[in-house]
């Protein structure tokens, strides 16, 4: 029995789809189908059935799925024990990450990890926080990076950094705001530039508004953008106040091209997370990457989901 066929079977069941599994594994759909057929022939059992557009395991398929994960995890542990030097770890790591980790943290983490395991390659996919969680839940990836904790209790988290959500303004707009102070009640007097729906930054701001019995629709939102760099260009052209991570405007604040407003009772501390589903299969490289995250968590205390 070829263990790579077990890996293919696991991905098909995780994703409930042959074409998605082929895409993730970088092989063709016919190759996936052939491997599944060979597994069924080896075990003499029907392992899955089609349920509409989805692939679902049979009773025998459920049994194989459980033991296949154990087999592959055991295989990873064997390689880890027998191959001690860093050159033994190779393969591609696909990283799904929300904007904040992608823009300001991922590069440092990968640079450090790559010094330990130089034969590893990386594919970085920048999506919003909700999409990271969706991809993990649907089995398209085993882990990702986000700016908020998962609601799904099956997904665990490791805090990698701390930041804050702030409201930033250009120097010209700042000159119009007395002492750089503003109250939530005064938000209605200004135009706002915010992140897109699904972003952790926007979610935190919406939660703050809710404490003031306000909604996003109460504000004059002129732009919603998917990228912090794009939002900063709008700030520099005085289009409005922007809701951003503090880390995103550090350079502009240092050079006095942007300023952070003092907003009454707004203290939106945030943490950034490596999030993962522990019962998913991890390749050898992914397992080492998870170990690296665990050893290098960078917060005062790891959060627990409520």
- Confidence band, pLDDT 50/70/90 cuts, at residue 134: confident
Tell me what pLDDT residue 99 has: 86
Tell me the C-alpha distance between 107 and 91, whole Å: 18
| 3 state DSSP class of 11 | helix
- Confidence band, pLDDT 50/70/90 cuts, at residue 305: very low
pLDDT per position as a tens digit, 50-80: 888 888 899 999 899 888 887 877 766 666 5
Tell me what pLDDT residue 83 has: 53
The pLDDT of residue 299 is above 90: no
The pLDDT of residue 128 is above 60: yes
Average pLDDT over residues 6-10: 88
The pLDDT of residue 155 is above 90: yes
Tell me the C-alpha distance between 58 and 43, whole Å: 13
The conformation of residue 188, written as its DSSP 8-state character, comes to G
- Judge whether 155 and 277 are in contact, CB under 8 Å: yes
Tell me the C-alpha distance between 290 and 276, whole Å: 9
The pLDDT of residue 304 is above 50: no
Token readout for 162 is 């701390």
- Inter-residue long-range contacts of 301-305, CB under 8 Å, 24+ positions, other chains counted: 301/159, 302/157, 302/158, 302/159, 303/149, 303/157, 303/159, 303/271, 303/273, 305/149, 305/150, 305/153, 305/157
Tell me the C-alpha distance between 81 and 86, whole Å: 12
pLDDT per position as a tens digit, 156-169: 999 998 899 999 99
- Confidence band, pLDDT 50/70/90 cuts, at residue 262: very high
Q: Which of 187-196, 270-279, 296-305 has the lowest mean pLDDT?
A: 296-305
Tell me what pLDDT residue 25 has: 81
> All domains of the chain, ordered by start, with CATH?
3-82 (1.10.10.10), 86-160+272-295 (3.40.190.10), 162-270 (3.40.190.10)
- Judge whether 166 and 183 are in contact, CB under 8 Å: no
Secondary element (H or E) of residue 59:
helix 59-82
Tell me what pLDDT residue 231 has: 93
Secondary element (H or E) of residue 55:
strand 54-57
74 CB neighbour count, 10 Å cutoff: 11
The pLDDT of residue 87 is above 60: no
Tell me what pLDDT residue 11 has: 87
């Amino acid at each position: 029995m070829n263990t790579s066929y077990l890996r293919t079977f696991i991905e098909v069941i995780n994703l409930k789809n042959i074409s998605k599994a082929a895409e993730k594994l970088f092989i063709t759909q016919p190759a996936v189908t052939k491997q599944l057929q060979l597994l069924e022939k080896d075990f003499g059992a029907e392992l899955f059935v089609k349920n509409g557009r989805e692939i679902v395991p049979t009773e025998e398929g459920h049994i194989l799925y459980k033991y296949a994960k154990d087999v592959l995890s055991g295989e990873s542990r064997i390689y880890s024990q027998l191959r001690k030097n860093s050159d033994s770890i190779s393969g591609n790591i696909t990283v799904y990450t929300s904007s904040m980790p992608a823009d300001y943290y991922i590069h440092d983490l990968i640079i450090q990890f790559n010094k330990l395991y130089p034969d590893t390659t990386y594919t970085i996919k920048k999506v919003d926080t909700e999409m990271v969680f969706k991809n993990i839940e649907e089995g398209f990836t085993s882990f990702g990076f986000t700016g908020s904790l998962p609601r799904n209790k099956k997904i665990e988290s490791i805090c990698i950094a701390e930041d804050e959500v702030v409201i930033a303004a250009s120097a010209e707009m700042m000159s119009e705001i007395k002492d750089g102070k503003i109250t939530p009640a005064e938000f209605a007097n200004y135009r706002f530039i915010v992140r897109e729906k699904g972003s952790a930054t926007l979610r935190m701001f919406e939660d703050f508004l809710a404490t003031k019995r306000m909604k996003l629709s109460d504000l004059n939102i002129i732009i919603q953008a998917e990228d912090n760099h794009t939002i900063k260009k709008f700030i520099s052209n005085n289009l409005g106040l922007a809701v951003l991570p503090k880390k995103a405007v550090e350079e502009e604040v240092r050079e006095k091209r942007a300023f952070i407003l003092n907003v009454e009772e707004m203290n939106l501390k945030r943490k950034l997370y490596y999030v993962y589903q522990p019962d998913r299969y991890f390749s050898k490289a992914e397992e080492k990457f998870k170990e690296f995250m665990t050893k290098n968590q960078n917060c005062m205390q790891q959060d627990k989901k409520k």
